[in-house]
Chain A
Amino acid sequence: MSFELNRKLAAPRAPLPTAANIDPVTADIIRGAFETVCFEAATHLGRAASSPIINSSNERNAAIVDANGRLAMGAIGTPQLTFVNQMMVRWALMNMAEYDIGPGDVLLSNDPDHGGGHLPDYCVYAPVYSADGELIVFVSLQAHQGDTGGKDPGGFTLEATDIFTEGVTFPCLKLVHRGARRKDVFDMVVRNNRFATIAGDLAAMIGGVEIAAQRLSALTAHHGADVIKAAINHSISHTERRMKEEFSAWPDGTYEGTVLIDADTMGTKDVKVHVACTVQGDRLTVDLTGTDDRQELVGVWNTFANSRSYVMTQVVAMVDPTIVKNEGVFNAVEIIIPEGCIAQPPPNKPAALGSFHPACEITEAVCLALSAVVPERAQPQLYKIGMPNAVIGFDANGMWMDQGVDCRSMDSSAVQGIDGWGSCPASLGNLLLSEAEDAEARFPILNISREMTTDGGGAGQWRGSPGSLNVKQVLSPTMAMAWMVSADHPLRGMCGGDDAIPYSNHFEWGSPGQYKIERTAQAQLPQDAVIAYQHGGGAGFGPALKRDPKAVKEDVLDEYVSLDAARSKYGVVLTGSLEDYTLEVDHAATEALRQQMGAAA
């Protein structure tokens, strides 16, 4: 639990020793089998868990980590979980004897200071041995739990100054010993968690890794341990080679990106994330030196393992998406994170909110830095929303919370050649949003509007997807909580594209008492009060004046872009009638206006 431990956990790992030579086809067949084992484990978890975060929203992941602590296969789930779990397994690997880890064991970790992300991301994992007792791999499952037993339900405390405020921490806890459930330990974990379904969810995670461990044992027996190890080595080195081939095609140089967060949860302004990406031959270095290290900041601390993971989430978004995600991606990239900055906090800092900000600003800064290098893949993988408005009320059955999480359209930026589209960036795309008809049947809420706002996306040669304006009315007195960021510093445009529009949030909207949320809010709303949350939308790519005028015309017809903005942002003059769908581009006038605007700029 120290910077020194972080260094040890992140140190490069050697290939597995093996006497076997393997042909690429056999190696790839074994890789496919590993991937399917991950799918089976994640599916089992999704089926057996009762938390809707896991079984409906899909916030879960399965991975295989080899005996040297290398990510051998990941995974089915959210990228940031994929790239964290091996760090927790490495802590167990450093303590095999001390913790008496052996066949049939199942372990639990979530400790931010021992390789973890934030506390809610429980990692449950099990070792797999060959018939003659050699450790081959660990199989691990991660899932976001609804509570962590800290001060506030859910595990997020705006004013937390240490990890103990946020909940119970497990560096490495044995849940199952040699195949036998440790009920005392299990009950202790369950007792320290408010979430009603934690016992079932934890049991589902244990069941999932046990099934996967059995399948991996069978695979090892079928192919032989040496062949399995050779297949892992082959797959990791193949990925490393593929990553390096991608980097080799990038021009050498150092590319920088700086992104600011409006403020921490206590109002300290302009929290900075700085990234320098250096491409040299087939090497990529991502250096976070220059990132904010003011120790008094509150809420904006991202764990070391999480910071590495978010760097990698963005880097893999910027290479061939078919490259297999394993330790090879880390082997190909050097990540430098200064000790003590908000991306590698000193021990015991809170970790919950840091997984949103600055974690997402790390992906944004990496993307910004590399946007000129890989313009065709320069879409930041993030959520710029501070947090969705939490709408909480009480009825005869106790507390309820509107499950209709306000996210509709946010942060889908353009890349070169493709306008931003859909509800959110790609890497969040397996989380399923709930709908108004489900939410309103359960809660005294009326969803009034969730449409995209015309001109709500950053302009550009390729356009960001417009953010949505989410308007809802509470039909009984209700509490609402909010945390605002990305208003002063909205999502950045790429390669000359415009930034997204600022997030903005109003309570008691349309009434004489209407007010704007500047930073945080914890408010009592009267019956029939309306809240309106404008999401920032995606940013643009490339200069708006270069957008094909015909595409602008189509955007105006679709009301993504207004006639005014067509002229003022894009320099496109249209004739005809929007009402009658008879718009045409006045090419001569457009050319003249663009020249004039270009000269003025």
Chain B
Amino acid sequence: MIRFNQVYKRYPGGYEALKNVSFEIAEGEMIFLTGHSGAGKSTLLNLIAAIERPSTGSVVIKGQNVGSLKGGALPYLRRNLGLIFQDHKLLFDRSVFDNVMLPLQICGFDHRESDKRVRAALDKVGLLQREKANPIALSGGEQQRLCIARAIVNRPSILLADEPTGNLDMDYAADIMGIFKSFHQVGVTLLIASHDAGILRQFGARTLALKQGELQP
């Protein structure tokens, strides 16, 4: 499903965020990506979503070499991915409902179908009662769940989460991990990056550990 082949990512100035990273994730797997901040977790996720391109090596998703995709093909790759951002990237000029609606508008769903899907996604993360609220009025945990709802409303086959439990207390974090687990159970491929080893230990999933841009054995 996701394959990295000797991937390097160098930034102008010579800094190497990723060094010789190779791994493979099978369909339906749930993987944890760990490491200190600055170890290259976000860069790795960015390479999968083609937000950045590898300097050398190849990133292959569903048989497509993402690094060499033309700009016009990127949107269709990203529609297959659910992205959960560290900083949420919610839009505060519209309601909770409309935030989740955005991916469906982009894909051109018709009104009735998309309304249904938005409510289903909000229901799954427990925000159905807040659909008319502005995201700014939500707590940190709720904002994170809203971000998850937006990522899954499109029913992507791959879900990438960057520090989804970042600033949350244990209860909220466990809550969110529970949500991820339910996606895993319906066959979604998950890649969850977190520096918080404690929360990950509770789940017996395969772990990829990054240290200074290198994958630890």
A and B part of one assembly: no
Binding site for B on A (CB under 8 A): none
Chain B residues close to A by CB (< 8 Å): none
